[in-house]
A = this chain, B = another copy of it.
């Protein structure tokens, strides 16, 4: 039997999600917990990126993961093997998480002694961008096979993210992906976005990403 909880979260009743998000962000800051809202299309490599990140950082900090999905717990099962604290959150068909749902997940998982928590949001480039979850920072993954034109088509996602991980760079030779165009389009949407090309499979580029995480977690204490 799996060792992680599976919970159903309900859409919030709060009138103002922005206010609830701000409250959650402050609560987490007081507790010294750094929460990342990780967003992407389906299949961009969120879980694979988390697995490698946890393997690389777990001897330096305590990490928790909330896996949000409409259905299934394949991601929680994959993350559990890393030894990180994990909970599977089912959204009951909802296409995104809001701050109230995020709080339900955090309370059910428990954040005692955790330094870094990842919320793996539902795979979707549209709706999750519209809802502040209360996370300390928003991070998105765009994978090479999806194409470099995505910042043109899903502008809000690129606007709300602090970091863009361009994943699956190991398969660049097999796709017509223009990294310079991708950088240009993303920066047009968000001049402050930090862009880090990675391959979660081979490990290329992971050090820059993990150094960014180390600094943010340290600053949060």
Given contacts A95-B95, A127-B127, contact A42 B72 (CB under 8 A): no
**From residue A129, how far is it (CB to closest CB) to chain B in Å?**
10
**From residue A71, how far is it (CB to closest CB) to chain B in Å?**
5
Total A residues in contact with B, Cβ cutoff 8 Å: 33
Q: Which B residues touch A155, using CB under 8 A?
A: 70-71
Bound-state CA distance A162–B175 (Å) is 29
Q: Which residue of the partner chain B has the closest CB to A185?
A: B72
Bound-state CA distance A175–B168 (Å) is 10
A169 within 8 A of B: no
Contact with B along A27-66 (1 / 0, CB 8 A): 0000000000000011100000000000000000000000
Bound-state CA distance A123–B147 (Å) is 13
Bound-state CA distance A23–B133 (Å) is 39
A190 within 8 A of B: no
Beyond the given pairs A42-B146, A70-B156, A71-B154, 20 more chain A to chain B contacts, judged by CB atoms under 8 angstroms and listed by A's residue number, are A41-B42, A41-B43, A42-B125, A42-B150, A42-B154, A43-B146, A43-B150, A70-B126, A70-B153, A70-B155, A72-B149, A93-B130, A95-B95, A95-B127, A122-B126, A123-B154, A124-B124, A124-B125, A145-B145, A174-B174
Residues of chain A at the chain B interface (Cβ within 8 Å): 41-43, 69-72, 74-75, 93, 95, 122-127, 130, 143, 145-147, 149-150, 152-156, 168, 171, 174-175
Task: Show 24 residue pairs from A and B whose CB-CB distance is below 8 angstroms, ordered by the A residue.
Answer: A41-B42, A41-B43, A41-B123, A42-B146, A42-B150, A42-B154, A43-B143, A43-B150, A69-B153, A71-B154, A72-B152, A75-B153, A93-B156, A95-B124, A95-B126, A95-B127, A123-B126, A124-B126, A143-B145, A145-B146, A145-B171, A171-B174, A171-B175, A174-B174
